[in-house]
Amino acid sequence: MFIIESYSLAVVFCFVTMLCWGSWGNTQKLAGSRVWRYELYYWDYVIGVLLLSLLAAFTMGSIGESGRGFVDDLRQAEAGNMLSAFIGGVIFNLSNILLSASTSIAGMSVAFPLGVGLALVLGVFINYFTTPQGNPYFLFIGVLLVIVAIVLNAWAYKNMGSKGKTQQTKGIVIAILAGVMMSFFFRFIAASMDVSNFESPQAGKMTPYTAMFIFALGIFVSNLLFNTIAMKKPFVGTPVAYKDYFAGDMKLHAVGILGGIIWGIGNLFSLLASEKAGTAISYGLGQGATMVAAFWGVFIWKEFKGGPRFNNWLLACMFIFFLSGIGLIIYAGM
């Protein structure tokens, strides 16, 4: 199977993760522009993640001489490790449904910096104290700068009065709930792998490709419950039915599947980078997606258009603090 051999390449993979995790939300925005509810979009998104995991498992995860191939690895995996990756998928799915709901209410430039930014902060602490790797001083100072950026983003959003205070508060609260839950999912996947040795992993542990597949199954199975509830009891708007999903055209379904594939690539690359970079740095850099998503929301989707001039300063400072924090997180692993 393909594995990463150096820290520098691991950082490159983390940047790809950052781009993927920060950009998949564009597909939700594109689908939503055609009055396609996020609850319907999300079914295709989940299918995309599962398809990507299978494609990667039978290609990158099954070629070459290094490590165990996907099928052999799946056969020898212990039930406890498979359950851990599966639970990771369940936790992620619930958190990501909340993130999608927040995106539909508040936009990418708010939901991602608040939700994913909070997940970055909490996730770095959780993953570092479970598997310490990297300089803790630079790592945690970097996290502190990200916290400041999150506060600035929330401040700018509160200055936008067009949605009304109730909608603003709902968007922020849902994003925070999503971020808290999302901070835990990566730890469960990492626990199912031998993150110290992908080439000759411990017996019973899984390679990143197998862990990714089981994780995707957790997302897919739990979606039958979580998204069904979201359809019947939506955060915003009237309930939607399964018949509405099947009434969508192929372009709408393709956009959702593409979103899942984009996110799945990011997650796989983050798992592959975790051996050389460490789980805290790999996860933390990937969640720098907050900055990428904020860029899309601010400059492409114009989600802060019409706000007070002071917001321009807040958003500029937000990007500066995010970039500085991400830089320190990278330096922490050198």
pLDDT at residue 151, rounded to an integer: 83
Distance of alpha carbon 245 from alpha carbon 41, whole angstroms: 8
User: Within a domain: residue 2?
Assistant: no
Mean pLDDT on 307-318: 93
Residue 178 has pLDDT above 80, yes or no: yes
- Per the structure, the count of domains in the chain is 1
Mean pLDDT on 233-251: 93
pLDDT at residue 291, rounded to an integer: 79
What does pLDDT average to over the chain? 90
Mean pLDDT on 295-314: 89
User: Within a domain: residue 190?
Assistant: yes
User: Within a domain: residue 53?
Assistant: yes
Q: For residue 114, what pLDDT band results from cuts at 50, 70 and 90?
A: confident
Apex 6 CA angle, 132 and 141, nearest 5: 40
Mean pLDDT on 259-274: 96
Residue 186 has pLDDT above 70, yes or no: yes
Closest CA to 146 of 334, 286, 320: 320
Mean pLDDT on 153-163: 76
Owner of token pair 């999300």: 42
Domain that holds residue 257: 7-332
Residue 201 has pLDDT above 70, yes or no: yes
Is 152 in contact with 299 (CB distance < 8 Å)? no
Closest CA to 292 of 318, 254, 272: 318
Distance of alpha carbon 122 from alpha carbon 180, whole angstroms: 7
User: Within a domain: residue 135?
Assistant: yes
Mean pLDDT on 310-328: 91
Q: For residue 107, what pLDDT band results from cuts at 50, 70 and 90?
A: confident
Distance of alpha carbon 264 from alpha carbon 212, whole angstroms: 9
Query: pTM to 2 decimals?
Result: 0.88
Mean pLDDT on 88-106: 92
User: Within a domain: residue 223?
Assistant: yes
Residue 164 has pLDDT above 60, yes or no: no
Spatial CB neighbours of 281, under 8 Å, sequence gap ≥ 6:
14, 133, 134, 139, 329, 330, 332, 333
Distance of alpha carbon 143 from alpha carbon 119, whole angstroms: 11
From the number of C-beta atoms within 10 Å of its C-beta (0-12, 13-18, 19+), residue 331 rates as middle
Q: For residue 165, what pLDDT band results from cuts at 50, 70 and 90?
A: low
User: Within a domain: residue 195?
Assistant: yes
User: Within a domain: residue 261?
Assistant: yes
Provide the token pair at 281. 């740095």
Distance of alpha carbon 115 from alpha carbon 178, whole angstroms: 6
User: Within a domain: residue 1?
Assistant: no
Positive/negative CA dihedral, 252, 28, 265, 90: negative
